[in-house]
Amino acid sequence: MNDKAYLGLMENLRGRGMQPMDLSIGFGWIPMVDGLMESLDELAPGRWKPTQIKEKFRGLRFYYDLDTEGLSDEEGNGLHDRVRSLVSEVEKRSYLVCESCGADGKGRATRHGHYVTLCDEHAPEGSKLLRSDD
């Protein structure tokens, strides 16, 4: 991943009303976010917008607003469930993907107490692998 991919994602997000300060992820997760946004566009065209995308406790967090106006309660609830399922799937996958490069990642705790998901190459010196149940 490079700056061009990051800038492309940022431009896409700005076009959806999201501010630059609301994007805080590493290059390695950009393909997952791009893929998620494409899937959401197919599932709910014009009905969703991202509000914040960040790393938190070593996982991707993708926050969004969903407009169900004009849909019945059943249709709106069903759409919400399908959107939430897509987002949840990508957020869970992020725990296995290096946020820096996109390679297979592992949960780690840094010397400074931050929890991150990184491959061996990008793991900071002194970080410790987390147990699989952490």
Run of H or E including 74:
helix 73-93
Structure tokens at 8: 């492309």
Rg, Å, the chain Cα set: 16
Yes or no: say if 5 and 25 are a contact pair by the CB < 8 Å rule.
no
The model's pLDDT over 73-108, given as tens digits with 9 standing for 90+, comes to 999 999 999 999 999 999 999 999 999 999 999 999
Q: What is the dihedral of CA 39, 40, 43, 49, to 10 degrees?
A: -160
Prediction pTM value = 0.90
Check whether 33 has a pLDDT greater than 70. yes
Whole-angstrom Cα distance, residue 24 to residue 114? 15
